[in-house]
Structure 1
Amino acid sequence: MARFEMLEAGFGTMGTTAQADILFELGVMYATGRDCDTDVIAAHKWFNIAAIKGSLRAAEWRSELSSAMSKGEIAQALREAREWMTTH
């Protein structure tokens, strides 16, 4: 647990571009099922956060993913992104 906390503490000191790239990669991971189960809600959440941090690719992927999601799924992804942003 301490290791995770140290990583989280250091996350805020990275440059915005580096943060956006890492968050975009999380979105890709969930969108494609790379090393995890495919989860469109988690993918949308991470693409949304990366887009907020300035990733244009994330905004494009989020838009494309949204076209295949229900309104309920999108709403849940937006809620989760908002919750993550308020705690980090």
Structure 2
Amino acid sequence: MARLEMENADFAGMGAGANADILFEMGLACATGRNGDADLVAAHKWFNIAAIKGSPRAGALRAEIAETMNKAELAKALREAREWMTRH
């Protein structure tokens, strides 16, 4: 996961101006394990942020992933999304 975070540092640094499509793609990469192991917590985080930025597809996938997560994972994903939004 760290690899994905590092590769997408340019996008994450965009903050409030980040494009919802880019954030959606980051969620897809995490969900599918495109750059390593799948990370549903990170996928939920990026889909959540993309949904907030206006991506309707992200909201649907966020809900789908949430159904497979336990309460602790979901809480972590929500906390990480909130922290990202606060920083950016």
TM-score range, shorter chain: 0.7 to 0.9
Q: 1:25 and 1:55 mapped to 2: Cα distance?
A: 11
The offset of 1:13, in angstroms, is: 7.7
Pairwise CA distance, 1:12: 4.8
TM-score, normalised via structure 2 length: 0.81
* Equivalent AA in structure 2 for residue 41 of structure 1: V
Output the aligned Cα RMSD.
2.0
CA distance in 1, matches of 2:16, 2:63: 28
Moved beyond 3 Å, runs of 4+? none
What SS is found at the alignment partner of 2:61?
A: helix
Bigger Rg, structure 1 or 2: 1
TM-score (norm 1): 0.81
Deviations 1:7-48 (A, max 9, x none): 83xx2585x6xx100000000000000022210000000000
Check the 8 A contact 2:15/2:85 in 1, yes or no.
Answer: no
Q: Aligned pairs, how many?
A: 79
Listed as ranges, the gaps of 5+ residues in structure 2 are: 1-8
Instruction: Please list, as runs of the form range in 1=range in 2, the aligned pairs for 1:53-72 lying within 5 A after superposition.
Output: 53-72=53-72
Q: Which has the higher contact order (CA 8 A, sep 6+)?
A: 2
Unaligned runs of 5+ in 1: none
Structure 1 pair 45/12, CA: closer, same or farther in 2 (3 Å)?
Answer: closer
What is the percent sequence identity of the aligned residues?
A: 59
- Distance in 2 (CA, whole Å) between partners of 1:81 and 1:61 is 15
2:26 and 2:84 mapped to 1: Cα distance? Answer: 14
Corresponding residue of 1:44: 44
